Amino acid sequence: MLKRVSSQMHFSKVKPFISINVYINMDLYKHYMSEPRKILFVCVENAGRSQMAEGFFRKFAPPEFLPQSAGTKPTSEINPLAVQVMKEVGIDMTGQKPKVLSDEMIKKSAKVVNMGCMDKESCPALFVNSVIDWNIPDPKGKSIEQMRKIRDEIETKVRELVTSL
């Protein structure tokens, strides 16, 4: 169904008003506006960086955006230190689970963010076109202090991403 939307504009020193008619496919408009735009955060294990990015994005992003995270070789659980440092900033990740990266996730995402790769053979950037690469160090095996620095870097990057949407 097409709906006509009229608008009038006034340009200084030009009279009269200019009337513009625009036709919008309302079915597509409703679908696009009701469907949240997905932002996908990817890494190899989906146990630390991408999970933290998902948590921060869920906190800071407008409601029309939905975060997801996944990995090419996900582990069975999220890094407990990542959960701990996120709790320190008021974000509970205990309900999040590592997920395997799929073509469907990639296709349905408005943006894909690669957190950084230590394992070049399994790097998500190899499988995704037009990926944003943040190159954040892998928190695996790091101390709690190093994990906090990584968390803070991810928060900064997520806030910058949210303001650019």
Give the residue numbers marked as catalytic.
43, 117, 123
Among 161, 163, 165, 164, residue whose Cα is nearest residue 53: 161
DSSP string, 80-135: HHHHHHHHTTT---TT----B--HHHHHTEEEEEE---S-GGG-GGGT-SS-EE--
Please give the backbone phi and psi of residue 131, each rounded to the nearest 5 degrees, phi first: -90, 145
Burial 137-146 (b: 16+ CB within 10 A, else e): ebbbebeeee
69 - beta bridge partners?
Answer: 41
Amino acid making up residue 126: L
